[in-house]
Amino acid sequence: MPFAAGAVGSAGETRRAPRAAGRRPNVIVVSIDDLGWDELGCYGNTFNETPRIDQLAEEGTRFTQAYAAAPLCSPSRAALVTGQFPGRTGITDYLRGEGAASDLHLSTDLTTIPDVLRPRGYTTGLIGKWHLTETYSGDYRSRPGNPFAHGFDEVIASEQLYIGGGDYFHPYFFMPSLPARAPGEHLTDRLAQEAVDFVRRHRDEPFFLHVSNYAVHTTLDGKPGLVAKYDAKPGAGGPGARPQLAAMLESVDQQVGRIVDELRTQGIARNTLLLVTSDNGGPNRPANQPLRGVKGQLYEGGIRVPLIAWWPGTGAAGQVSDELASTIDVLPTAAALARVPTPRQVDGIDLSRVIRGGSSDRDTLFWAYPHHIGAVHPHAAVRRGRYKLVRHLRDDRDELYDLSTDPSETTDLAEVEPVRRARLGRLLTEHLAELDLFAPAPGPDDYRSVALSAPLAVVASEPTHTILRSQEPVRSRRFAASVRTDLLLAGGGNRLFLGVAQDADNHLLIRYNHRLRRVGWDLRSGGLDATGVTEPLGSLDGTLDLSGPGSRLGFALRGSQVTAYAAQASGEWERLFRFDVGGVLDFADRDVRRRFGFAVGAEVDPGATLVEGFEAWRR
């Protein structure tokens, strides 16, 4: 069973003699889901109690400038296991459950930590959350992107069904086949026991272990005794003093303590690097104070995270490092300890030099989150030295902050430091061009040939909404279309559609509702709605008016990825949103390219209507 611990070896309770110094070091990563910058005692929190993690900071290295590779879970996890920026892994947003049109997963074409360490005799284990696939049915080992497919030898207590809001007491709804090991079992305690057992089983060989906690992600549900303890503390229930979260975090702290105790018992503590960190910032502002922003944002509160490195006997105890560190550094650090070359495509660096008391030569980090979540629009960021630039990807507007004097990012320096803004802006532009996240906007600059450029006529006997499909198939896996929305709305219409269609039962269309100033997308396959679980776009409501002179709506597709564009009143193209439909429709398939033609939809009056300003291009 991939979710059970497997055979458990016996282990004595007395401490074993330390292992020979020549053995390659072990690496353990303890991830705490949604842990904010200000939630550990060693980072200044006075309500939560985390004595075992705080002790690691006293005995090891505490990083003050450590970052998650993304402001959300799945891309951060993809970065951790590959050492690459999320944009290179194909996972830039949190992955949805089944029903999503995208059907995304971490590709097995990517090199992962197990791939790097296995040739050096390492056993690799994942205990807990994976969240790198959108397939939750069928045989676990056959699901695309599952951790076994990426080389993990042992996968224990990893989600069988989509996680949703979490579930912390047995039986776990997202792991229905996992039996309890203790009455009233709490999930964090279960992961602790599995981690201890893993260490015992593999004490005589090098190993890599990722203890990937589900805590402290919502829905918060701590052990009653611990919750009562924090309920009774002064200030409970106030900002940053949440008893449920504190109780869950103390359980994680106890988990870390149990792992450390077992390493010492087995005599391998001095030969083990233990990292404790988070996958992104906390979802509530007090959890990240004094930093600006929350989970999902590229302001510091969404991406700066705790990072403690504990490696007894290596480096000075109680080090505080201001070096830039990131999730992407786990793989190259593990590779360096295993004495294997770092894969060429890796973006991270070896942090063992910093842990030993040295410095790194890194001065730049990048982030890209090209999605919507809550009120957050697509944005990207670059930090070089003390300065950080945040770019809003809809209109390429930049903000600039000096983090050395303004870690809360309250003062935008973009206007007063134009040279520095331009310099960092060029760096970010080059990085985004490398990632190639968006299909290019419609027009001759990025597409070699014109596929369609002529008025279309439709005759109606009564007021109706019609979708016109060109007889010319799209033919290419990279194409774009645009339409003059002001011309279509001039007659008093309200709803517009643009995209591709085979027929009324099979189409992929971007939609615009003029009365509500709302955009979205529709996908139908075989007569059924296949839009499924989608990215929330409500933050775009009311921000568009496509009735002004020269206004346009744009549709650009590359394989299975679509980017929606708009230009208001003869203005420049704005990126609205992007989405993936690869689980339903992929234009890399020649048959799909042959069956689908360019399409535009509008409300028309009785009689003949001329649809002008509809153009399409191929690349």
CATH class, domain 379-435, is: alpha beta
Distance of CA 12 to the CA centre of its chain: 41
The amino acid occupying position 417 is: E
**What's the pLDDT score for residue 453?**
79
Residues near 3 by beta carbon (within 8 Å), at least 6 away in sequence: 140, 155, 156, 157, 158, 160, 175, 177, 178
Handedness of CA 574, 576, 580, 584 (dihedral sign): negative
Question: Residue 389 and residue 427: Cα distance in Å, rounded?
Answer: 10
Query: Which residue has 């303004």 as its token pair?
Result: 406
Structural fold of domain 26-358: Alkaline Phosphatase, subunit A (3.40.720)
Beta carbons of 566 and 554 less than 8 angstroms apart? yes
Joined tokens for residue 28? 């353990």
Q: Which residues, 6 or more positions from 545, have their beta carbon under 8 angstroms from its beta carbon?
A: 514, 517, 551, 568, 569
C-beta separation of 91 from 104 below 8 A: yes
Q: Is 289 left (phi over 0), alpha (psi -120 to 50) or beta?
A: beta
Rounded Cα–Cα distance for residues 270 and 303 (Å) = 30
Q: Which helix (H) or strand (E) covers residue 471, if one does?
A: strand 464-473
C-alpha 348/C-alpha 111 separation (Å) is 13
Quote the pTM value: 0.94
Classify domain 449-618 at the CATH topology level: Jelly Rolls (2.60.120)
Instruction: List the structure tokens of 561.
Output: 């990825």
Residues in the chain: 619
Tell me the three state secondary structure of residue 483: strand
- 304: tokens are 């700066």
Half-sphere exposure of 136 (CA within 13 A, CB side): 21
Cα 99–Cα 553–Cα 540 angle in degrees, nearest 5 = 60
Give residues with Cβ within 8 angstroms of 234, minimum separation 6: none
The CA-CA-CA angle for residues 102, 437, 387, to 5°, reads: 130
- Of the candidates 451, 463, 494, the one whose C-alpha atom is nearest the C-alpha of residue 596 is 451
Q: CA-based angle 596:598:600, to the nearest 5?
A: 130
- Residues 288, 306: contact at Cβ < 8 Å? no
Given a cut of 50, the residues of the chain with pLDDT beneath it are 1-14
Calculate ∠ Cα 172-175-177, nearest 5°.
105
Burial (CB count <10 Å: 0-12, 13-18, 19+), residue 229: middle
> How would you classify the pairing of strands 272-278 and 154-156?
unpaired
Q: Torsion over CA of 396, 401, 403 and 407, rounded to 10 degrees?
A: -100
Element at 352 (helix H, strand E): helix 352-355
3-state secondary structure of 230: helix
SS3 386: coil
pLDDT in tens, 573-612: 999 999 999 999 999 999 999 999 999 988 766 666 667 8
Question: What amino acid occupies position 121?
Answer: G
Per domain, the residue ranges of the chain are: 26-358, 379-435, 449-618
Whether 289 and 38 have beta carbons less than 8 Å apart is answered as yes
Token digits of residue 555: 């549709």
